[in-house]
């Protein structure tokens, strides 16, 4: 497809269809819908895995807040998207706070030092990439909001244990349901990329796309060790079947990038695998 208008809008249904199309190709054993019933973690080993997962989620969301704050300071971001980023910072800050409270409920202690350790790991991996330039910032957003959907959905399709962080607690400070918040973030990012790409002069378009994909691949290489550890923990925490998770992640990421740069997936260059 040659134009943004020729592509379907990025919606919850589109994401679900995109993921289902991926697993039909590379993981046909996965169901097309999440399980109807899951249970709480029960044994000490199960609770420990869920606690580690929840600490990593708190670190993930806090890292987003920190990275966006640095990007706003260092980069020339238009006011329209700056406002959307303000919502993302508020939402993810709240999500991190909820995860921290859930972790206290799971372990009986405030695990802030553990969360901070995971945050340091993320900064050590990515360095200044999220705020180095526009391409690095977009790559950071792609990995933390869009590409992650491939493995999250794979984890959820066969989960046996309930995702405890999302237990409903009345909270007047919450922006909305967490899944809805995150969908809004993804839509905002997609629309911003579309707006930027539409303004790139035709003679510069291929170079711009190449720089974007290069930054995205740099982020993939940097995050791979952390991601593999996190995915393994998620599989244990939720007792999910993560057979072919590398193929799922790699294929979903390629499809996302193809959508964003308005090219067929097969036309993209070789991308670094999660396994690399």
CATH number of 4-162+175-267: 1.20.1260
3-state secondary structure string, the chain?
CCCHHHCCCCCHHHHHHHHHHHHHHHCCCCCCCCCCCCECCCCHHHHHHHHHHHHHHHHHHHHHHHHHHHHHHHCCCCHHHHHHHHHHHHHHHHHHHHHHHHHHHHHCCCCHHHHHHHHHHHHHHHCCHHHHCHHHHHHHHHHHHHHHHHHHHHHHHCCCECCHHHCCCCCCCCCCCHHHHHHHHHHHHHHHHHHHHHCCCHHHHHHHHHHHHHHHHHHHHHHHHHHHHHHHHHHHHHCCCCCCHHHHHHHHHHHHHHHHHCCCHHHCCCCCCCCC
Tens digits of per-residue pLDDT, 232-262?
Answer: 999 999 999 999 999 999 999 999 999 999 9
| Mean pLDDT of the chain, nearest integer | 91
Tens-of-pLDDT digits for all 276 residues of the chain? 334 446 899 999 999 999 999 999 999 999 888 877 889 999 999 999 999 999 999 999 999 999 999 999 999 999 999 999 999 999 999 999 999 999 999 999 999 999 999 999 999 999 999 999 999 999 999 999 999 999 999 998 889 998 754 433 333 333 346 668 889 999 999 999 999 999 999 999 999 999 999 999 999 999 999 999 999 999 999 999 999 999 999 999 999 999 999 999 999 999 999 999
Reported pTM: 0.91
Query: What's the pLDDT score for residue 110?
Result: 97
Query: What's the pLDDT score for residue 35?
Result: 79
């Amino acid at each position: 497809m040659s134009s943004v208008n020729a592509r379907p809008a990025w919606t919850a249904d589109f994401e679900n269809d995109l993921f289902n199309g991926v697993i039909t190709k590379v993981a046909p054993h996965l169901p097309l819908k999440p399980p109807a019933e899951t249970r709480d973690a029960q044994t000490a080993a199960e609770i420990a895995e869920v606690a580690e997962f929840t600490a990593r989620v708190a670190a993930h969301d806090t890292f987003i807040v920190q990275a966006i704050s640095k990007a706003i300071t260092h980069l020339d971001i238009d006011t329209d998207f700056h406002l959307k980023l303000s919502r993302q910072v508020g939402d993810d800050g709240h999500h991190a706070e909820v995860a921290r409270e859930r972790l206290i409920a799971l372990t009986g202690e405030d695990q802030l030092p553990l969360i901070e350790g995971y945050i340091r790991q993320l900064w050590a991996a990515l360095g200044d990439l999220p705020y180095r330039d526009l391409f690095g910032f977009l790559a950071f957003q792609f990995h933390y909001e869009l590409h992650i959907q491939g493995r999250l959905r794979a984890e959820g399709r066969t989960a046996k244990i309930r995702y405890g962080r999302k237990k409903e607690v009345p909270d007047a400070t919450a922006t909305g349901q967490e899944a809805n918040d995150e969908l809004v973030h993804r839509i905002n990012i997609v629309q911003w990329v579309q707006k930027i790409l539409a303004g790139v002069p035709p003679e510069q378009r291929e170079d711009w796309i190449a720089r974007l994909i290069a930054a995205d691949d740099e982020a993939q290489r940097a995050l791979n060790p952390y991601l593999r550890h996190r995915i393994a923990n998620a599989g244990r925490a939720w007792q999910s079947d993560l057979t072919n998770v590398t193929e799922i992640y790699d294929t979903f990421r390629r499809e996302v990038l193809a959508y964003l740069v308005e090219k067929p997936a097969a036309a993209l260059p070789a991308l670094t695998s999660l396994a690399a």
